[in-house]
A and B are shown apart, each in its own frame.
Chain A
Amino acid sequence: MATDLTVAPPVAATEKLPDRKKKQRPRWLAHIVLILGALLMLYPLLWMLSSSFKFTEDIFSQTGLIPERVTGQNYPDGWTALPRDFGHYIWNSLVIVVGSIIGNLLACSLAAYAFARLDFKFKKFWFAVMLGTMMLPIHVVIVPQYILFSELEWINTYWPLIVPKLLATDGFFIFLMVQFIRGIPTELDEAARIDGCGHFAIFWRIVIPLSVPALATTAIFTFIWTWNDFFSQLIFLTDPEMYTVPVALRTFVDATSQTPWGPVFAMSIVALAPVFGFFLAGQRYLVRGIATTGLK
């Protein structure tokens, strides 16, 4: 069953389209539909941004995007509302994110090189296993993982969140890089081999420098996924000192029955801002990444 998973037709998203289907109904109609749709999609986000500058009592009476009374107080209030200031949680998140990025870049590219360039026994079988793990819900393995990590006394440390990345458990990125490395001409490898390079030298000096787009896609997706990840951080980090941004945000709506919506929205904006930043900076890598592997 697992081998069949390769049927997914990866397609390149980047080619330019020659002017096709010249006779069209008026384009303004399509533009109107698209603009209205985009506004509807973005309205909740824009409203949250605007509400983060409203007084909490106004949030429940104003549905518009322009605050009638503007306040900047929500940001400092939200920043200091929890036992530690919000910067502490951002730091915890960053440590995990950076560790995960390094782990994924190293371990997934090593594995991808083996799958794309080397011959070994049962390669097809192992590749199918790798594709199978892409589909594996984390919930299925979380219990034994928790037991293992608590035996190692790693609960409430960063390790349970970083070590799996160092062990190439994100099959998506291996798959992405295998696809990419297969596109690099083997003549380059052979030339390097004649010059006396072994596989590690070829990997490090030829394949890695040429794979920068795939590595960038991996880094950006790892950032966004890890930054947003809630489930595993909720389970492995129960000590408030170790809380990350998502886990800390959650305590806002949990702790009090009266949620202070102004500060909560302000900190939600702070939590989303880096994702927007990476999204804007890395759009073309993202689009290519999704088109190749169907990442979300």
Chain B
Amino acid sequence: MGQFVTEIKSGGGIAVDDTIQVKGYETKAGSRILEGFRPLFSAEAVERLERAGYDIAGKSAVGEFGLDLLGEFAYGAETCDTLRGAAAELVAAGTVKGALCVDLNGTPRRAAALSGVDFLKPTYGTVSRYGVIPCACSGEQIGVAAKTAGGVRELLRVVAGHDPKDGTSLPAETYDYHDGKAAPGMRVGIVKELYGAASDEQKARVTACAERLRGMGVAVDEIALPLADAARTAWNLCLCAETCNNVSRYDGVKFGYRSPDYRNIDELYVNSRTEGLNFLTKFVILYGSDVLSKGRYFTCYDKALKVRRLVAEQVKALFKDYDALLCPACSETEYRPYDIKDAFMTVFAESLFTAVPNLTGIPAMVSGGVQFMADALRDSDLLNLAEALEGGNAS
């Protein structure tokens, strides 16, 4: 078992990422700045699981605020040789039945692809974000990891549905997730810009998946998404700008870590944040602050929001002809620890494969080591595709 588990009290239940509040558990979002913070309430998704009779097994560690590649910079985590993500490892090992994970910049999708489990980042707004430690609210989303598509579907049906406590929650009270198209007869497009950027091993996974899909009556073509690279830049600009604002609340006064070394309130703020946040988060804050500043706002942040619309329109147009897009979830099949000074650009590079769903709110599912994307609210189609590939019922 990997090094990233923070606190698993019982096996067989549901692990919850450390960026999601669970009453009674320390919830530090992988950061020293929230060390010792025990929330007064659980996230809505957690409460729904508990009301449905599921046990919360414990917290699965994440990198600070979920900003890193695979949880490698979780505060207090031991080092390991291979990075695979805590929640995905717990699911793969059978220690837990499933996991709730926040998809901020693709981390749970990468982890699922590397650990051989399924993960669905549902359509934005279908699962309440109430109780999530926020970073980039406009695109982060709680998703579900499980060993099979059937397991994802089971848990997703419990946690999805309107929550009046979340202002971005969509109005549907429940979602069926059994109402998708049958896999045979679907049209799937391989995104050439993402396929071409992956390693030979990842390309082989996608190619093998495409062959299996063709064998079950799915039409598979290569398609172009010319704005894929722009989507990555736009999402990372939005992420940094929003995170900069959201983590400004951590100042050593109200909760979490407080530096013991200060002579006045300015030193209290500066020392607590300097000692409590890691270099990756500091860079995200500084860059996010810069792109929101006078003189940079219109050329950076405003531009990113306009590109976001263009990407959404380009993706929407593809879904007129295709039911799903197929691509790798990450460039490699194995990741090793690296220095935090390289973290931002490492994550930026890998977010090429994951940024479009975060930027546009569409669902994305990793199964069998590859990633599928579908139009908004077509999550069921992704579950059907994954289930068909797993040899289960295709509709």
Q: Do A and B come from one complex?
A: no
Partner-A contacts on B (CB < 8 A) = none
Partner-B contacts on A (CB < 8 A) = none
